[in-house]
Structures are given as structure tokens and as C-alpha cells.
């Protein structure tokens, strides 16, 4: 039976704001996933998943909350009919339309919420704007406060800019003062319609490492339980956990677009263009037999090329043991081929997280034992 790790469902490509680094090619398209697509997911896809699997299903792409909440209630009811019992539902939002009705829906269905907030106001508002050019920080923070008041503590995704790296204290104090304990960091990548990154100008590996290390040091010294997803993933692997790079094996990740188009490997493949790979569109669940999509020659050829790239990573990169071969979408976008190795994304995401963790361990070894005991909150929660 099939055991996917992540299923990304794109209810709409439309987004209600205008981020400088947005990679979505069709963010003006107001198409909403139709009932026939939802039914096809229910009938063609979910029954193939092992009953004891625990996939995460995330509503993501444009801004999910631009679709009426009644649509989600109906979709959730239908999908629960065939989804494994341990399936987790999640929704990634910019927070602009995330009002009390959404909070009630999240509580009723157990849907986890992720918020995109790029740190302190000056950094967030510089690049995450409304369609008429105004900052969105106040609206996102209002959503955060309403979620917290409902005892929902969202994971926060922060996209970094080179200027962010000079403001460790400001970022830490933002997370601490707003009780944001679970954060994931990324850079604005060269991907999809976003052809260039603000990080293209130089090598920021050491600066990003210093930024992450600085956050962890302050969190420890102040007893604030700040969980950085990228660092804790590496810590978990080194502590004996399983290394699983979901992006290198077909169907560990499944993405279904609003119109029923299907891709796998990297979720961002929906936005990557390659004529040789039919733009990574492996079929459509409304018109194609899913078994044929699953076993198609195009998927097999793409898998073979990705494996060649993974082998190159294994041979060349000292971070392979905590990475597993990189992200195929970044390899295609940055290097022009899947059968390639290191990318800027690797250098500025995976490698700094590993180096920051190494530096933190080295620093912590020099701290007297009683200092650890005095800050138990930093280690009170399990790695996630």
C-alpha cells in the first residue's frame, strides 16, 4: 500500500496579497477546486493509502482562505470518508482573512494552522503587501492574536532577506514577545515566476548560520522554548531519527491543483517549467486513470534523473547525511537539470541549519551544568 508523507491540495491559485518574492504563476486566477476534483481525490487517491498511514494533508498554493469556509466544510466531510484515520489536516495562510469562523473550523476539525509572518513589522511590510501596496503585518498579527486567544498556536513561516541577517535580536524579541515558539525559515528562492532571489548577490551561508545560532543562543539564555524546524529536523536525525527526504521518491509527496492536475516529488513543481518533463504535469485525476499516472513512463524517467542527482549529492556533499539529496525543483530551476547537485537553496537553507546546530552544541558544552538546570523550558518540549 501507498504511504505518502505529504499531500498538498490547492483549493485555488488565487492570492489576495502581493508578496515581492511570490513564485506563483497564476495568483490572479480565481478558479476554485470543483466538487468533481474533491470527489476524485476521495475516490481515486485516498483509498490507495495504507489504512495505518498518517499523511499530512495541507491546503496550500494561493491563499486558501479566499475560498469560502463552507467549501472547506463540505470538502473536509467528503475527504474524511476515505482518508486514513490518522490523517492530519493543515492550512497555510497569510492571515489576512483568517477570522473567527476559520478558528472555529480549525477547532472543530483539528486542522492545524500555519501563518506566514516575516518577523518584525519593518521586514514583513517591506515585502508582504496588499495589492494596493500597503503592509500586511498588522492583519497577520491580528490573526495570530485571535488564534492564540483560542489556544491555537500556529507554526510560523518566515522568509528571510539579507537585511534580516543583521537583526538577530529584533527577530528573537519579536518571536519571544509574541509567544511564537515554532518557526520555519526559508529564503526567497529563484523559483517559478520569481526568477531572481535577493540572495543572488553573494555567499550568505555564514551569515545565515550566525543568524540561526544567535537566535538559539538567546532562546537558551532567556529560557524561551524557540523551536526552529530546520535545525530540529537535523537534530532529530543525528539523535537516531530516520532521514527521509520526501522529495526524491515518487509519490512520497502528492500535489493536486484546483483543476485536478497532479505532480509529485517537489510541491513547487507545479510552478517549474520544463518541456522535457511536460512541466511536471503527470496527469489529471478527472480524465486519467490514477494507476497510469502513478506508473507513467514520465514519472519513471523523472525519478531516474532525480536519482542521478541524489548520487552526485551523496558523492560530493558532506551534508548528505542530514539532507538526503536536496530539492529537485531547486535543482531544475537553478541548475537546469534534475541530475545535478548543490543549489543555492542547499547552501542557504540546509547547510546553515546544520552548522548552526553544530555551533550550538559546541557552545553549550562550555556552559556549566547548573546553567542548563536553570533554563529547563528550553528543553521541555520534544523535537518536532
Q: Where are the alpha helices (DSSP H) in 111-184?
A: 121-127, 137-149, 168-177
7-16 pLDDT, tens digit per residue, is 999 999 999 9
Q: Where are the alpha helices (DSSP H) in 150-228?
A: 168-177, 205-222
Torsion of CA 273, 278, 280, 282, to 10 degrees: 160
284-326 pLDDT, tens digit per residue, is 999 999 999 999 999 999 999 999 999 999 999 999 999 999 9
Determine phi and psi for 86, rounding to 5 degrees. -90, 10
Report domain extents, the chain. Answer: 1-370
Beta bridge partners of 3: none
227-242 pLDDT, tens digit per residue, is 999 999 999 999 999 8
Residue 200: all three cell numbers together: 543572488
Distances (CA, A) of 213 to 72, 137, 240, 252: 40, 25, 22, 31
15-66 pLDDT, tens digit per residue, is 999 999 999 999 999 999 999 999 999 999 999 999 999 999 999 989 999 9
Report how far residue 275's alpha carbon sits from residue 273's, in angstroms, rounded to the nearest whole number. Answer: 7
Task: Identify the burial level of 81 via C-beta atoms within 10 angstroms of its C-beta, where 0-12 means exposed, 13-18 middle and 19 or more buried.
Answer: exposed
pTM for this predicted structure: 0.93
The CATH architecture assigned to 1-370 reads Alpha-Beta Barrel (3.20)
Report how far residue 156's alpha carbon sits from residue 3's, in angstroms, rounded to the nearest whole number. Answer: 27
Amino acid at each position: 500500500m501507498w504511504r505518502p508523507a505529504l499531500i498538498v491540495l490547492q483549493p485555488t491559485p488565487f492570492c489576495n496579497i502581493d508578496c515581492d518574492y511570490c513564485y506563483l504563476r497564476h495568483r490572479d486566477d480565481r478558479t476554485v477546486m470543483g466538487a468533481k476534483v474533491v470527489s476524485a481525490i476521495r475516490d481515486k487517491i485516498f483509498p490507495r493509502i495504507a489504512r495505518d498511514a498518517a499523511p499530512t494533508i495541507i491546503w496550500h498554493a494561493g491563499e486558501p482562505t479566499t475560498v469560502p469556509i463552507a467549501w472547506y466544510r463540505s470538502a473536509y466531510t467528503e475527504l474524511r470518508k476515505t482518508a486514513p484515520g490518522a490523517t492530519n489536516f493543515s492550512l497555510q495562510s497569510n492571515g489576512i482573512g483568517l477570522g473567527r469562523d476559520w478558528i472555529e473550523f480549525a477547532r472543530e476539525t483539528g486542522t492545524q494552522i500555519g501563518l506566514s509572518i516575516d518577523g518584525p513589522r519593518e521586514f514583513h511590510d517591506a515585502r508582504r503587501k496588499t495589492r494596493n501596496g500597503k503592509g500586511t503585518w498588522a492583519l497577520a498579527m491580528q490573526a495570530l492574536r485571535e488564534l492564540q486567544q483560542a489556544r491555537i498556536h500556529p507554526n510560523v513561516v518566515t522568509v528571510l532577506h539579507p537585511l534580516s541577517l543583521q537583526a538577530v535580536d529584533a527577530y528573537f524579541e519579536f518571536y519571544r514577545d509574541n509567544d511564537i515558539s515554532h518557526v520555519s525559515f526559508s529564503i526567497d528562492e529563484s523559483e517559478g515566476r520569481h526568477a531572481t532571489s535577493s540572495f543572488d548577490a553573494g555567499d550568505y551561508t555564514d551569515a545565515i548560520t550566525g543568524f540561526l545560532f544567535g537566535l538559539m543562543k538567546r532562546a537558551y539564555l532567556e529560557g524561551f522554548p524557540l523551536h526552529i524546524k530546520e535545525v530540529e529536523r537535523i537534530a532529530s536525525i543525528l539523535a537516531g531519527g530516520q532521514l527521509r527526504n520526501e522529495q526524491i521518491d515518487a509519490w512520497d509527496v502528492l500535489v493536486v491543483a484546483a483543476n485536478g492536475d497532479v505532480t509529485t516529488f517537489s510541491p513547487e513543481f507545479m510552478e517549474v517549467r520544463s518541456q522535457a518533463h511536460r512541466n511536471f504535469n503527470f496527469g489529471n485525476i478527472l480524465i486519467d486513470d490514477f494507476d497510469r499516472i502513478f506508473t507513467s513512463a514520465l514519472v519513471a524517467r523523472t525519478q531516474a534523473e532525480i536519482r542521478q542527482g541524489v548520487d552526485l549529492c551523496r558523492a560530493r556533499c558532506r551534508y548528505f547525511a542530514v539532507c538526503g539529496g536536496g530539492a529537485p525543483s531547486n535543482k531544475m530551476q537553478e541548475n537546469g537539470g534534475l541530475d545535478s547537485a548543490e543549489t543555492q537553496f542547499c547552501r542557504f537553507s540546509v547547510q546553515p541549519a546544520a552548522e548552526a546546530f553544530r555551533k550550538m552544541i559546541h557552545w553549550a558544552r562550555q556552559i556549566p551544568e547548573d546553567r542548563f538546570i536553570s533554563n529547563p523550558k528550553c528543553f521541555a518540549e520534544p523535537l518536532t
